[in-house]
A and B are shown apart, each in its own frame.
Chain A
Amino acid sequence: MRELLILLLACLNVAHVDARTWRYRSGDGASLQTVINGTAAGDTVLVEGTVSEGSIRVDRPLVLLGGADAVIDGGGENDALLITADHVTVKGFTIRGSRRSNLDDMSGIKVNECRGVVIADNFIDKCFFAIYLSGVKDALIEGNTVLGEPGEEDHMANGIHLWKCSKATIRNNRIEHHRDGIYFEFVTDSHITGNTSLHNLRYGLHFMFSHRDAYEDNHFEDNGAGVAVMFSKEIAMRRNRFLANRGASAYGLLLKEINDGEIEDNTFQDNTTGIMIDGCNRINVRDNEFRLNGWALRLFANALDCDFQGNTFAGNTFDVSTNGSLIPNTMSGNYWDRYAGYDLDRDGHGDVPHRPLGFFTLLVEMQPYAMVFSRSLFVSLLDRAERLIPSLTPESMKDDRPLMRPPVRKSQAVAVVNKRLFPRSAFVFFHPSFFNQAGMGQNEKWRTPEHSVVLGHPCIFPLGGLQNTHG
């Protein structure tokens, strides 16, 4: 008898399956808004088909589940979905058609003044702002895919935008082609984990006036700048990857007026500038890897008490540059591939200090066009002379205990050496391990390429051969 009733109600499109679960199939009959208006707090609404009835407003605690091909199309009116109540869950929808407006911040999903919202597994297609949270506590934004439209900065907005929020968790989302991938303003005690932010016009992730936040295991690639952290305190940045952020003012990580930050175990690769530090205090930069960047580190002279330890600098055009002579920061125990010293007492640390700031770095700082002399004989002679008798480079910019070998990192990116044109076996003689066996090379066994395939030991990749396979 009950099945019959369900069938009957299903024909009416709005099926009251259970006391608390509503099934809505778009097409004919009532609008989704009326269904929502008819629910009680804590109900579940399962939506199927394309809903295009303008802006949908959720003003009571509900679970909105997207069934097969569930689409909410705002029709370009206002926000596609507006949430104003506590404990709302939105899951499994495709959301599109928000109005584009810089005046009213229109967005795919907008959440206002509430707590406990969950936005999961949605696909947000070409909205102005994609997900916009304002004054929200305990939000969870997880597993969403956010695709914007490439365009001009004036006509673009942020992917995931949080304003005056706290204790938010943003996890495993993918954001492309927005202005900022993720934007935080006045957001505290929040976590950003495992997200991928690509091809954004401005920043992959942007903090303003946000304190005690952490972002970990994220991937930022090909953004205007990877991550910008500005005017914020106590931000922890761990195990992120900042790749290929290239351009005149492009940075892997831009730090401006940051106090007490932790930058640990990140990878900076192929960026024009790896980290730019401007006016920051007490930043700990530990165990990061800087590889093949233009400038690995730009440390402005207004930074104070920043500490650099255990980092790997390899293959960068310039390792460190600065704009002043007083360097009230410390560097110790980093690996520099340019280090030419020796280690007589065999403690793993070089016996003579390394001065990472080259003469040529200063020349380019003074006259940018001098860049053309990079790697010329003339410049390398000048650099060598300056290293022997430092005259222009700041005395205090040095690493007293440079590492002789790159440190093995805590988290190793799984990397694949690119395929070779010919099988190695054809060139046994040329192979470093041939010399190892003969006791001629300095390489230890673990540094031979066969082993490197498993774990990306930072010293053996051919140029451009690094392909990270984990997300």
Chain B
Amino acid sequence: MLKVFKYTLIDLARNRFVLGYALLMLLVAQGLFVLEGDPTKALLSLVQVVMALVPLIALVFTVVYMYDTLEFTQLLAVQPIRRSAILGGQLLALAAALLLAQAIGLGLPLLVHSPTVAALVLSLSGSVLVLVFAALGALIALKQREKARGVGVALAIWFLFVLVYDALLMWGMFTLSDYPIEPFVVPLAGINPIDLARIMVMLQVDLAAMMGYSGAIYKNFFGSVGGTFAAALILALWVAVPVLFAFRVFRQKDL
């Protein structure tokens, strides 16, 4: 597995897309901090960028990369290596490359311009989002034979998590506002990994508002130690479950 990891990582290091991702994030983050002047405001803008862009890139890149390396994977599969080792090595290398790119593109500007707890939470949430969506991307790529179809599904899933889910949730909130929806809003907001990551960041940057009446319900849950563990658990599940499914699919797949 380590050999597969190593060679995949070397391949990824030469991949222009990963380098491009690091540069893009660096440009966006650095640009925001320089043009905005106010690090606080730049951080807030960056939150939106990270919550939309990071899942998209992690998802699409993983899907595309899995298709592109299919021949190499086939070559590996005829060697006396266990299939789980092949996929494990590849996924680890993908995660490592994306996280490294993100550390350079996002982590570094944050560290330089705004070394605060909020920035730390933002880069951690961003990293977790990378893992979640890389895992989802791997599963999609293994499930769909056709590349175009796979990318299409990936885009649809991204769209679902970043926009449609929120829209539906908000529509539900307003339609059912006469009913006691309180027990449902916290779990429903917490299921979507992007929403969950955003709430974690919000508890830092919008703390004053979250202490008010409207934010209290979220603050009381996610702001507590138990809530933080629950959030971490949910995010871990979002990584673990797709990865497990991916292994299952890969083991039985006719390459």
Contacts A376-B198, A378-B167: A459 and B48 contacting too (C-beta < 8 A)?
no
Per the bound structure, the CA–CA distance linking A465 and B94 in Å amounts to 36
Q: Which of A315, A363, A364, A461 contacts B44 (CB 8 A)?
A: A315
- B33 contacts chain A at the CB level, 8 A cutoff: yes
Contact mask B134-151 → A, CB, 8 Å, 1/0?
000000000000000000
Q: Are the CB atoms of B206 and A294 closer together than 8 Å? A: yes
In the complex, residue of chain A having the shortest beta-carbon distance to the beta carbon of B218? A372
Q: Are the CB atoms of A430 and B48 closer together than 8 Å? A: no
Contact mask A105-142 → B, CB, 8 Å, 1/0?
00000000000000000000000000000000000000
Contact mask A357-375 → B, CB, 8 Å, 1/0?
0000001101111111111
Max chain A Cβ within 10 angstroms of own Cβ: one of B43, B177, B206, B212: B212
Q: Are the CB atoms of B216 and A248 closer together than 8 Å? A: yes
The segment from B7-15, B16-24, B108-116, B224-232 that touches chain A is: B108-116
Per the bound structure, the CA–CA distance linking A372 and B165 in Å amounts to 13
Q: Which of B30, B41, B47, B111 contacts A314 (CB 8 A)?
A: B41
Per the bound structure, the CA–CA distance linking A74 and B119 in Å amounts to 53
Kindly state the interface size class of chain B when it binds its partner.
35 or more
Per the bound structure, the CA–CA distance linking A271 and B199 in Å amounts to 19
In the complex, residue of chain B having the shortest beta-carbon distance to the beta carbon of A422? B111
Contact partners of B156 in chain A: CB under 8 A = none
Contact partners of A273 in chain B: CB under 8 A = 212
The segment from A33-41, A185-193, A387-395, A437-445 that touches chain B is: A437-445
- B38 contacts chain A at the CB level, 8 A cutoff: yes
- A348 contacts chain B at the CB level, 8 A cutoff: no
Contacts A377-B163, A442-B35: A295 and B212 contacting too (C-beta < 8 A)?
yes
Contact partners of A379 in chain B: CB under 8 A = 166
Contact partners of B218 in chain A: CB under 8 A = 371-372
Q: Are the CB atoms of B38 and A435 closer together than 8 Å? A: no
- A241 contacts chain B at the CB level, 8 A cutoff: no
Q: Are the CB atoms of A368 and B213 closer together than 8 Å? A: yes
Q: Are the CB atoms of A315 and B48 closer together than 8 Å? A: no
- A380 contacts chain B at the CB level, 8 A cutoff: yes
- A263 contacts chain B at the CB level, 8 A cutoff: no
Contact partners of B170 in chain A: CB under 8 A = 363, 370, 373, 378
Beyond A247-B212, A292-B208, A372-B189: 19 further Cβ-contacts under 8 Å?
Answer: A246-B207, A247-B211, A248-B213, A250-B212, A273-B212, A317-B206, A317-B209, A363-B170, A369-B185, A370-B174, A374-B209, A375-B51, A375-B201, A378-B170, A379-B166, A421-B115, A427-B112, A435-B34, A463-B204
Minimum CB–CB distance from A375 to chain B (whole Å) comes to 5
Q: Are the CB atoms of A292 and B40 closer together than 8 Å? A: yes
Per the bound structure, the CA–CA distance linking A443 and B41 in Å amounts to 14
Minimum CB–CB distance from B165 to chain A (whole Å) comes to 9
Per the bound structure, the CA–CA distance linking A378 and B216 in Å amounts to 22
Per the bound structure, the CA–CA distance linking A293 and B206 in Å amounts to 8
Q: Are the CB atoms of B41 and A337 closer together than 8 Å? A: yes
Q: Which of A368, A373, A432, A465 contacts B37 (CB 8 A)?
A: A432
Per the bound structure, the CA–CA distance linking A314 and B44 in Å amounts to 11
- B155 contacts chain A at the CB level, 8 A cutoff: no
Q: How many residues of chain A are within 8 Å of chain B by beta carbon?
A: 58
Contacts A430-B30, A442-B35, A462-B116: A246 and B162 contacting too (C-beta < 8 A)?
no
Contacts A447-B37, A463-B205, A465-B116: A294 and B212 contacting too (C-beta < 8 A)?
yes
- A301 contacts chain B at the CB level, 8 A cutoff: no
Contacts A378-B167, A441-B35, A461-B38: A371 and B173 contacting too (C-beta < 8 A)?
no
Per the bound structure, the CA–CA distance linking A395 and B173 in Å amounts to 27
Q: Are the CB atoms of B209 and A430 closer together than 8 Å? A: no
Contacts A371-B210, A378-B166, A465-B116: A315 and B41 contacting too (C-beta < 8 A)?
yes
Contact partners of A270 in chain B: CB under 8 A = 207-208
Q: Are the CB atoms of A462 and B39 closer together than 8 Å? A: yes
Q: Which of A249, A337, A376, A380 contacts B38 (CB 8 A)?
A: A337
Contacts A271-B208, A272-B208, A369-B185: A462 and B115 contacting too (C-beta < 8 A)?
yes
Minimum CB–CB distance from A40 to chain B (whole Å) comes to 57
Contact partners of B254 in chain A: CB under 8 A = none
By DSSP majority rule, is chain B's interface helix, strand, loop, or mixed?
helix
In the complex, residue of chain B having the shortest beta-carbon distance to the beta carbon of A420? B115
Q: Are the CB atoms of A372 and B213 closer together than 8 Å? A: no
Q: Are the CB atoms of A246 and B40 closer together than 8 Å? A: no
Q: Are the CB atoms of B38 and A372 closer together than 8 Å? A: no
Contact partners of A249 in chain B: CB under 8 A = 213
In the complex, residue of chain A having the shortest beta-carbon distance to the beta carbon of B212? A272
- B106 contacts chain A at the CB level, 8 A cutoff: no
- A220 contacts chain B at the CB level, 8 A cutoff: no
Per the bound structure, the CA–CA distance linking A295 and B214 in Å amounts to 11
In the complex, residue of chain A having the shortest beta-carbon distance to the beta carbon of B162? A377
Q: Are the CB atoms of A318 and B41 closer together than 8 Å? A: no
- What are 30 contact pairs spanning A and B, CB under 8 A? A247-B212, A249-B213, A271-B208, A273-B212, A292-B40, A295-B209, A295-B212, A314-B38, A315-B44, A366-B174, A369-B173, A369-B214, A370-B170, A371-B210, A372-B195, A375-B201, A376-B195, A377-B48, A377-B163, A380-B48, A422-B111, A422-B112, A422-B115, A430-B33, A430-B112, A431-B112, A447-B37, A462-B39, A463-B39, A463-B204
- A214 contacts chain B at the CB level, 8 A cutoff: no
In the complex, residue of chain B having the shortest beta-carbon distance to the beta carbon of A375? B47
Per the bound structure, the CA–CA distance linking A444 and B110 in Å amounts to 22
Q: Are the CB atoms of B185 and A374 closer together than 8 Å? A: no
Per the bound structure, the CA–CA distance linking A190 and B215 in Å amounts to 39
Contact partners of B157 in chain A: CB under 8 A = none
Q: Are the CB atoms of A250 and B211 closer together than 8 Å? A: yes
Minimum CB–CB distance from A423 to chain B (whole Å) comes to 11
Minimum CB–CB distance from B36 to chain A (whole Å) comes to 9
